[in-house]
Amino acid sequence: METAYLCVFFVCLLRVAHMYNLTDEADLHAALFSGYNTELRPGNNRDYPLNVSVVFHLFAIKEFVEVTSKFSVNGVFQMSWKDERLSWNPSMYGNCSYTLISQNKIWLPNIVTSNPFKESYGLGSDLVKVYLSSDGTCNWVTMHSFDVICDADVTYYPFDKQYCALKFAPYSIGSSWMNITFPSSKLTLSSYEENGLWEIEDSTAFSTDLSGTVEVILGLYLRRRPTYYIASLLLPMTFVAVLQSFVLLIPNESGERIGYSVTMLLASVVFLTLVQEKLPESSEPNISILGYLLLGYISLGALLTLVVILSSNLLIQTKPVPKWLQSVFCMRQTKVHNIAAARDTSPKEPDLKEDDSEIDWKEISKKFDRFCFVTFQILYAVQLIVYFSLVLGKTS
């Protein structure tokens, strides 16, 4: 046991003996930056581009405003490259194998955003340090909040999927001078915090040669979480629209039909306003199918208001019922009586008195309301079936 403690003691003593001090690191910095030119790109062989390895760590999605096409994220760029001018022999400086230096003291890959929301900006700040190894390897880690443009396709809102990309390009540096590579074709999401409205289905990271200039593209495939929109928008909108058709079950004599119908129609218009505030004011590539659904609801609501007015007008008619209208309802009643007679096997003399009796306007108004009520329920159901078949069929 004592032997083990002695071994540990000597190892620690040896480590302390070889530990560099402040003077060693100061001498190292003085030697490294003596005659160093930050304007010159690293690389002894100028015929080959400098290889820069890039990893992007996504932390969070701040916001995605479809109306203004603003997409904001928080993330960290981790870049590494080799600068032979910054290499040294650790044994000459107290076995100092690494050091930290300010980013403004060395050459940096000057990468700026190429699809900014407001204005282009570079990476890093004067507060950021670069981790420098003795072999000349530079590791630059810089955190930033990025605001870029992402045009949303809201065709299937709120069941839509979006693709947003952060694009960067080296300023005034061509592909023959610098080559950007990615160890992984995906973004690093180990520190990512889930967003309440958007779910990341996939990601991509790659660089392209765009007219002699390297362009870095960090893409995110997003899927909207529709639960909130279903509960707060789609279902209430549908309930209001269907509830409007129940105006036909209110007795005509109450005098409340017109007011009820107009009130529900105004409620549908309010929902239309809410939807328009959440969607971009553009028609490309397509406008939202939800807008068409709401337009159908409002159209049926307007038609329903006309039906209510027509039904009330039928009720107050004083003219005799036209023969053709009587024949329509008499034919319907005759069919009903024939079906009932076929079910009744007991011999009974036909009673034509009821079939031949005249029908008044009140009876016609009631039958008209029943027919329209069933028709509107079918139309609302057809609209919903068509909407969900279009939306879920494309997004599944």
Residue 5 has pLDDT above 60, yes or no: no
Residue 351 has pLDDT above 60, yes or no: no
Residue 98 has pLDDT above 80, yes or no: yes
Residue 125 has pLDDT above 70, yes or no: yes
CATH number at residue 258: 1.20.58.390
pLDDT, position 3: 45
Query: How confident is the model over 31-40, as pLDDT tens digits?
Result: 988 888 988 8
pLDDT, position 329: 63
Residue 332 lies in a domain: no
CA distances from 128 to 36, 103, 168 (A): 19, 6, 19
Instruction: Please tell me whether residues 204 and 263 are part of one structural domain.
Output: no
What is the side-by-side strand order in the sheet with 198-210?
A: 111-113, 161-170, 213-224, 198-210
Instruction: Please tell me whether residues 32 and 91 are part of one structural domain.
Output: yes
pLDDT, position 395: 65
pLDDT (average), residues 160-183? 85
Give the range among 135-139, 250-254, 320-324, 339-343 with minimum mean pLDDT: 339-343
pLDDT (average), residues 59-76? 91
Instruction: Among 166-175, 205-214, 327-336, 370-379, name the most confident range.
Output: 370-379
Residue 390 lies in a domain: yes
CATH number at residue 174: 2.70.170.10
Q: Count of domains in the chain?
A: 2
Query: How confident is the model over 229-238, as pLDDT tens digits?
Result: 888 888 888 8
Residue 317 lies in a domain: yes
Instruction: Please tell me whether residues 53 and 202 are part of one structural domain.
Output: yes
pLDDT (average), residues 235-253? 85
pLDDT, position 231: 87
Residue 301 has pLDDT above 90, yes or no: no
pLDDT, position 135: 92
Query: Are the C-beta atoms of 40 and 61 separated by less than 8 Å?
Result: no
Mean pLDDT of the chain, nearest integer: 81
Give, in degrees to the nearest 5, the angle at Cα 282 between 279 and 283: 110
pLDDT, position 245: 87
pLDDT (average), residues 12-26? 63
Last residue of one domain, picked from the residues 225, 247, 281:
225
Q: Which two tokens stand for residue 318?
A: 């004083």
Between 367 and 321, whose confidence is greater? Answer: 367
pLDDT, position 11: 37
Query: Are the C-beta atoms of 107 and 83 separated by less than 8 Å?
Result: yes
pLDDT, position 358: 61
pLDDT, position 4: 43
Residue 4 lies in a domain: no
Q: Which two tokens stand for residue 172?
A: 């005034």
Residue 56 has pLDDT above 90, yes or no: yes
pLDDT, position 13: 34
Cα distance between the two ends of the chain: 66
- 200 DSSP β-pair partners: 222
Residue 94 lies in a domain: yes
Instruction: Please tell me whether residues 238 and 207 are part of one structural domain.
Output: no
Give the range among 109-123, 204-218, 295-309, 339-353 with minimum mean pLDDT: 339-353
pLDDT, position 112: 87
The model's confidence at residue 345, banded by pLDDT at 50, 70 and 90, is low
Q: Which two tokens stand for residue 125?
A: 């700040």
* Domain residue limits at 284: 228-321+360-395
